[in-house]
Each structure stands twice: as structure tokens, then as C-alpha cells.
Structure 1
């Protein structure tokens, strides 16, 4: 059972990391609602580990949360239900984003959207979260060579898509 101090500590952690987790989730998912769900699922998993009486101590909660977020995203994409596609004919057009850099974000979303879940995760962790090859490999449970290979190939596919 978690103590009040453990609960308060987790709440503080969740508040301080939620924005960063959401940013990563949004880039992975490409959809605000799905990103919010992914962050909630991630924080629930982290809290479950956080509140364990024995062996629940997390040495680096931020890294653990990022790894959990990435692996939850990838495993969710493997599920059969992740192939659902929203209905194409929406009743109203979405409002344009009035903030600076909206076009760049849309271009980035479009480029990332054409990649596999693992390739997308590699690029987000490497180039958006600015993690090293070894850190990305650890987060994804793959070898550093696989990270380098996936980065190179995913960037090449993204470049090809951007020129067409």
C-alpha cells in the first residue's frame, strides 16, 4: 500500500513530467486524443510500479516513464484494434492552429505518420528527445546497431516522402 508521501511524490512527478510525456506521445501518435490516452496509460503503469511496497523503487522515474510511454505506444500499435481509422467525412472542418510553427508540426506529423511504430519511436527519441543511441536502445529494448540502422532508414524514408 502506498503511503501519503509516496502518493504526493508521484503526483509531483506526474505534474512535472506530463507536458514532456504528452509532447513525445503526440509525436508518436499524431493525434491529440490518442496522445492524452497514451500519457494516462503510461502514468497509470508508472504509478502501479511506484506504489509497490517492495522492489517498487524507480531509480530514474523520468527515464522509466519515457520507456513505458514508448513501449506502450509500440505494443498498442501491434494490437488489432490499432488499425481503426476515423470516419473520413467529418461534419465540420477543424480550426487552423494560429500558433507559430503549425505548418512545421503538420509536416513533421505527416512524415512520422508514414513510418512504422518502432521507426517513429526511434526518430522521436533520438532527434526530438535528444537521447543518445544507447539510451534509445535501452528504452526500446533493441541493440544500438539496430537504433542506428532504423534511424538511417527511417530518415531516408522520411526524406523520400518529403520530396514527393
Structure 2
């Protein structure tokens, strides 16, 4: 198992993993499988996202098979560039429970610190207890609960908004 930065050359692998994880966990992500599959030129758009200088996407590989990924979105506006967001974090079901998610998240935190990001934000479906346990174990705390944040197939899902403070300023 190894972790590396994904580039535009990885777009097809990344998009295929995203589709697989959307199918495995349809309630855990904003987009549905149909919405993802119906995008015009999805691999090309994915390649463009992987070239975006404000986004850093890491991939976890088993041999040459992409089995997990995580994206750090850096903010660029002056008043919020001390913040970053964890996005599109997924590990294929067969590879969960092996420390891959924790390794990816730890590496993103290290990268965020190198960019002098002071706080990392993420959103997670409230019933996703495994993910919440991972985040809390690393130090994320819940800063809010959005009731009925998502609605899929007539079922509502609450989302927890979480934060990890990477630096303390003036004792805060």
C-alpha cells in the first residue's frame, strides 16, 4: 500500500473509484450515482479538478489499484485562507478498517500545516459513525448539526459539520 498525489493522468482511475464508492455508500455523498454518470465528459472534468492548484488530492494504492482518496481544498480569499476543507474522502469498502483512511487523513493534515492552514473543515452524514469515530480520534470536533441536510429517495439525512484546529492563536 502506498499514498501519492493524484494528477490529471489518474482521472479515469479516480472517477471509477468515485462511482464505485457512490454505489457502495449512496447516502454518504452529495451527488448520486446517476448525477455523476450523467456529467458531460466526466473524466475530462475530473482531470481538470486534479490540476486545480487550490486542490490537493491524494490516492491510496494497492499495487496499481486506486482504493482510496482524499482532497484538501485550500481557500484563496484573504479573510478565509487560514481555512481548508476535506472533500471527496472515500475508501473502497473492501479496504476499510485497515488504517488507509487514517493514513490519508493524517497526510492531508500534514499538508494543510505546510500551507499554514489553521483549521480544517469537513461535513459528514450524522449516521456515518465509522467516519465520525475516525475524525474524532484524530481530533476533529462537531461544531454544528444540520438537520435534514440531504434528502435521497424520500429519506432525510442530518450532517455534522466538524473542525480540526491546527494551530492555537492567543490561547484560543
TM-score by length of 2: 0.30
Choose between structure 1 and 2 for higher RCO, CA contacts under 8 A separated by at least 6 residues.
Answer: 1
Going by fraction, where is strand more abundant, 1 or 2? 2
Q: Which has the larger radius of gyration?
A: 1
TM-score by length of 1: 0.31
Going by fraction, where is helix more abundant, 1 or 2? 1
